[in-house]
Structure 1
């Protein structure tokens, strides 16, 4: 599979390493400052850049008819525009706040737990995320996806960052040295706490999931999620 890497930071380099090990080739890679290779030769594009560059990168791939997998967070106010462009161009697009297989299983566990806990009003639910110091957006896209899964089965109206409002789901975001990504969901009552955690040890889980999604998407048309890729 011939891959274009739109964004060649730490994630892009990890994806390159693992893709080459799987026998794929990298025909194009770009950063904000430079690019090299032949973009039009790509069979699929994988996009991990920055919130400022994501929309342009995704648009570029869709306009060129190249299926694109995007894992950049912090730009979702433009998501509907990219969906409309994909439909207009009869393109192929997967966005995920997190491509890790483990995290996507965690999303499903989270929704099941939220449904199970919904009748038990004595428990107050909250979400905590911890990431490395270089992460620009807060809360993380993964934490927002977790919160949205909880809200489907909750009386709470919305989520907010660092809030104590009664009918609002609180997300706490922390930035610490060399943390790849930790997400904790907690249900707290006066007598006990129920919590579950996903902790990433390296970027490889995210990279492997992105490559898996690209392999799955290559010959398809439409707008998909990791639930489609993993059949969950």
Structure 2
């Protein structure tokens, strides 16, 4: 399979190594100042760029009928635009706030726990995420996905980085050196606390999942998520 890498930072380089190890070829390595020359040669594109570049990268792929997998976060106010474009062009698109197998299992666990805890209003939900200092968006896309999972399965209405009101989920976003990503969901009452945590040890899990998603989406049309890829 021929892959276009849209974004060639640390994640892009790890994705490249894993893709090559799995027998794929790289036809485009697009940094922030590069063009899309070579994109038309790709069977699939993987976008791990920056928030300001994500929409143009995804659009360029869909317009060229190239399936695209995007793990860039911080641009989701335009997500529905990309879904509409994909449907209009009969393209193929996967967005994932996190492509790690462990995190996607953690999402499922989070949904199940939220359903259980919704029956016990004495416990208040909150989130904490910790990432490396180079991460541009705050909170992380994974934290937002976790918050949405709680909201969809409980009486909470919103998430916030500021002081939480009664129906808000407070998210604490910390930036520390050399932290690939740690996410904790906490339910606390006056008596005790319940916590679940996912800790990434490296970027390998994110990169491997992105390549698996790219292999899965090749030849398909539609808008998908990692639940489809992993059959969850």
Q: Same fold (TM over 0.5)?
A: yes
Mark the runs of 5 or more structure 2 residues left unpaired by the alignment. none
- C-alpha distance after superposition, 1:153-183 (max 9, x if no partner): 2222211113232221101100001100000
Other-structure match for 1:88: 88
Alignment partners' CA distance in 2, 1:144 and 1:64: 30
After superposition, residues 88-167 of structure 1 pair within 5 angstroms as 88-167=88-167
Other-structure match for 2:42: 42
Give the SS at the match of 2:134: coil
1:190 pairs with 2:158: no
Give the SS at the match of 2:3: strand
CA change 1:168–1:36 in 2 (3 A) is closer
Give the SS at the match of 2:27: strand
Aligned CA RMSD, in angstroms, stands at: 1.0
Alignment partners' CA distance in 1, 2:84 and 2:196: 36
CA change 1:136–1:223 in 2 (3 A) is same
Aligned length: 232
Give the SS at the match of 1:144: helix
Deviation at 1:95, TM superposition (A): 0.3
Deviation at 1:35, TM superposition (A): 5.0
Alignment partners' CA distance in 2, 1:23 and 1:36: 23
Alignment partners' CA distance in 1, 2:106 and 2:36: 37
Alignment partners' CA distance in 2, 1:125 and 1:64: 43
Deviation at 1:37, TM superposition (A): 6.3
Segments ≥4 residues shifted beyond 4 Å? none
The answer to whether the 8 Å contact 1:100/1:209 transfers is: yes
Normalised by the length of structure 1, the TM-score is 0.98
Mark the runs of 5 or more structure 1 residues left unpaired by the alignment. none
CA change 1:74–1:36 in 2 (3 A) is closer
- C-alpha distance after superposition, 1:4-57 (max 9, x if no partner): 000000010000001001110001110112258621110000000000000000
Other-structure match for 2:26: 26
Give the SS at the match of 1:194: strand
- C-alpha distance after superposition, 1:87-122 (max 9, x if no partner): 111000000100111100000000000001111111
